[in-house]
Chain A
Amino acid sequence: GEDVEQSLFLSVREGDSSVINCTYTDSSSTYLYWYKQEPGAGLQLLTYIFSNMDMKQDQRLTVLLNKKDKHLSLRIADTQTGDSAIYFCAETLATNKLIFGTGTLLAVQP
């Protein structure tokens, strides 16, 4: 199947860490991605990880990949109010074709 699942909602306090989880289904995915969607704006690519890696860190963002369990997570350190948005994980099943997760709404409380 092509279902990529995420929890719907996450609420954190400003300054705390946020962890957004994603479960994908296709073990042949080459790359896995995290996108951010702010209201009225297009999707912004935050980071990506190649399937043969298990961790990638990019400033406040840390991506963990458990290929055995097909589990991907995005950790945002020192979460700010500007991080409030919907976050989508995505996988590539074929060249350039993206399958998106269901999206997680992150609400950051001041």
Chain B
Amino acid sequence: GAVVSQHPSRVICKSGTSVKIECRSLDFQATTMFWYRQFPKKSLMLMATSNEGSKATYEQGVEKDKFLINHASLTLSTLTVTSAHPEDSSFYICSAIGTSRRPVDEQFFGPGTRLTVL
């Protein structure tokens, strides 16, 4: 099956610093990638949709200047949390859509990145 990786898997940073999270599709080209945020014991919340070569589309309530998304190639999307604060601490998950093999465009999910802001 298609594999999506995320790096780092875990990061701890000081308040006010910026953190970059990478999402890579390892064995397929992903024209669309998604970024989700998951709070403890809560569901995944879609933050933004990222298309290669164009600006990301952010969901309502998500600050685009706070969460910078870059989808520079068909295999890499990055999420940068700028000037991180403790309330940004969360589990960030990306997913990617590759070649459709079924009626639905299956999203392949990365393993997630645990961000802790001190």
Which A residues are closer than 8 A to B by beta carbons?
Answer: 4, 8, 31, 33, 35, 40-45, 48, 50, 88, 92, 95-103
| Extra contacts besides A41-B111, A88-B43, A99-B46 (6): CB < 8 Å | A8-B41, A31-B104, A50-B103, A97-B46, A98-B46, A103-B42
* Residue contact B93 to A43, C-beta cutoff 8 Å: yes
Determine the chain B residues whose CB is within 8 A of the CB of A97 once the complex forms.
46, 49
In the complex, which of the residues B45, B46, B107, B110 contacts A45, with contact meaning CB atoms closer than 8 Å?
A: B107
Which chain A residues lie closer than 8 Å to B49 at the CB level?
96-97
Contact with A along B103-114 (1 / 0, CB 8 A): 111111111100
Interface class of chain A by DSSP: strand
> How many Å lie between the Cα of A41 and that of B108 in the bound state?
12
Write 30 A-B pairs (CB below 8 A) sorted by A numbering: A8-B41, A31-B103, A31-B104, A35-B109, A40-B112, A41-B111, A42-B108, A42-B109, A42-B111, A43-B44, A43-B109, A44-B109, A45-B106, A45-B107, A50-B103, A88-B43, A88-B44, A92-B104, A96-B32, A96-B34, A96-B107, A97-B49, A98-B34, A98-B46, A99-B46, A100-B43, A100-B44, A100-B45, A103-B41, A103-B43
